[in-house]
Structure 1
Amino acid sequence: MTWWKTVAVLSCTVASVLAGSAQAVAAPPRPGAHCPQLDSALPWHGDNRARLQRMIDERGSCAGRSGARPVAVFDWDNTVIKNDITDATLAWALQHDKILQPRSWLATSKWLSPAADRALTAACGTAVPAGRPLPTSRNTACADEIMEIREKSRTMGGAAAFTGEWNHRRTEPSYGWIPSLFAGHTPQALTAFARLARAEQLRAPVGAKQTVGTHTIAGYIRYYPQQRDLIRTLKAARFEVYVVSASAEAIAEAWSDGVGLDRAHTIGIRSQTRHGRLTAELLGCGGDPAALPYIDGKRCVVNQEIFQVKGAAAWEQQDSTRRIALGAGDADTDVTFVGDATGAHLALNRNKTELMCRAYDNADGRWLPNPMFLDPLPAKSGPYPCSTAGAVRADGSRGPLRRADGAVVADQADRAHG
């Protein structure tokens, strides 16, 4: 991939030994002179807007680069928007009786515990035939069990909802469970549910709450103007921009057009289909059928779906020609793909340890920690425990976070906050 360098216009007489004539070489535009610009009226933390603009100028269309277009990838929930589209869609579905009775609750997840199966069966009953809607708008106990498992991975009685072994850097059973709850619907129907939920959430005032069963959750969502503007500017500078979400892909597709992204640039948890309808079986990544767009799984999905790296190689960090220029996220679920970016790592601060340890350590000088744009968190009390519990291990335990050279990342103070 060739990079233009700014040069002065020269006019010179070629030496007689070269038997040439004077040549004039025109310089390409100075980077930034005519590049798409971020809106200067939208506030960013510190010099983050200027640093993002510099990356756009250097990597985008006005840099005169040839070859493949640079790629930017955004997480969705609490990165591009405030709050969570899976929560919003699940809440709407429970309030409108859109969850279908499964043939067995155990079929909704290979990790669902016997205790969760018993709790869901007792709360939701067996009178409704498999494939028919559960009356969750009226059955508070059933809605509560589903919401408690979604929120806390436990039953209303306090038992673990998921048991067994899984790679905690590739999979979170509660994330994969939600798409499975919509088995029996078409992907188009799930997108329609999500659009109806979106309309309600965007109408609701900032700060609104809603009650599902006896659970109280956020009742509004907002697109962040700064992220809309950043995506607009990146696209204008000829970046390929994608969303990679740990929500069901059909749900994410209902929202991504709000920032100008189409279905081809929206990636989420993908379910297998049968006769055009969603099933409880999910599509994995990199040869691992259990993998989700989750921590290292997001790298796998980026490599596999965007850069067409197939098989086990999709789990590995690629060379610079097959990596994203910009990655943006807000949680530990995003840390691997955001860290793979070669131009800028944008980290929205929700006090998530592994992501913020990476952001504040700033090993390559390209990390941009930024408070949430709406209702930012105050400073975290005490430092992030990067040196002792900064990294999530595959077995779910936590240990020291290390740089690429093996050095342990020191504990970090919280510096980008409300």
Structure 2
Amino acid sequence: MASMNASLGYNQTTQPAQVSSGFMLRYLMAVVGIYLAVMTPVTITLAIRVAALAPDSKASSLGFILGVGALIAMVANPLLGQLSDLTRSRFGRRKPWVVGGMLVAVGALLGLGSAGSLMLVALYWWLTQIAINASLAALVAVIPDRIPKQQRGRLSALSGMSSNLAIFAGAAVINVVGTDDIWMFVVPGVLGLALVAVFAARYPEPEVAELPPKPFRPMAMLRNFLFDPRQHPDFSWAWLSRFLVQYGASVMMTYQVYYLMDVVGFSHVTVGKPVFVASLLMGGAIVVMSLLSGWLSDVTGRRKVFVFVASLVYAAGLALLMVGSSFAMFLAAILVSSCGLGIYLAVDQALVVDVLPSRAEDAAKNMGIFNISNVAPQSLAPATAPLFLAIGGGGNYGALFCAAAVIAVLGALAVIPIKGVR
């Protein structure tokens, strides 16, 4: 039994066995499913619902709901990830949380779809964030649990592009079901649950019988989050890089609907189709660049140069939004930024797993700490965006995207001090 656990990834010093392409495909679809449930509201439907309920304060209301939701996710992900690390069920450490979280998320999305006030919209969205992060924290931990180093670049590429594939899939779903009723929230959630269930049914999770039991101690769990950057500088620099780049990505994702409405001139009724076109372009660019970059990173054994170049390309895409206001310019910006994001997401997660502390026993917790760099910008972006938009009297999207581009460049610079990987 001990040798089985080592071969499957519970031994910090022994490489897990390589996984099949079928495993990678099922994993990709599961991550896409989780993001389909959460990113469709973030990028499309939540903005539409908020605009319908509070047309005169839509930007600030959306910023508050998403901002608080991101703060909740920032706490929930590492906390629930640590509970996954502690789990010793006959179904394993990860599957109960992966499936259970999505079941709760579907229920919360059902409530969100029927909510008739901003308060109910906010409450159901915050519950959705908790449930989604329970599922996501456990699923992300599968990589350090089960994936050997020589395959992490490719699986990181698949995982990295999953959120953008989900955005495209969500736009396609909304293009079919429309934006007028409950189904724009429920259908993405149900599809996400189905994809997660397929992965869980086929996942050969490492057995936990040989792992030492870890009692549930709330105060000890809280102390575990006191992370000292000086003890793990490579992990800390990787965290900072993701935080800065993700801020730029959060600005783009959160405000693309309002940019198309306020600058390009679409209405809340017609904005679904251009978002679908942009998502199609984004998804194609990210898939191509992610697969190519992940493969090249594994072949060359290099991570940092890909992350550095990707951050600069993404910043260039954001900068394009400052020089034009047409739909064609918006699509050009989406194409360039998506190429950069595809390269970045393909390699960045593999870099993080390579320098992850305590990979054998605390993978979900430490990946959850890293995931704070994903979700904190989702709170910071809508909280700070109104400050940039207000420059010059309001509606200054040029200032907003300029700030996001500069911060993304700083994210590129943050990978330079990392020494544990090339």
Report the TM-score when normalising by structure 2.
0.25
Higher helix proportion (structure 1 or 2)? 2
Report the TM-score when normalising by structure 1.
0.25
- Which structure would you say has the larger Rg? 1
Tell me which of the two structures has the higher relative contact order, counting C-alpha pairs closer than 8 angstroms and 6 or more residues apart: 2
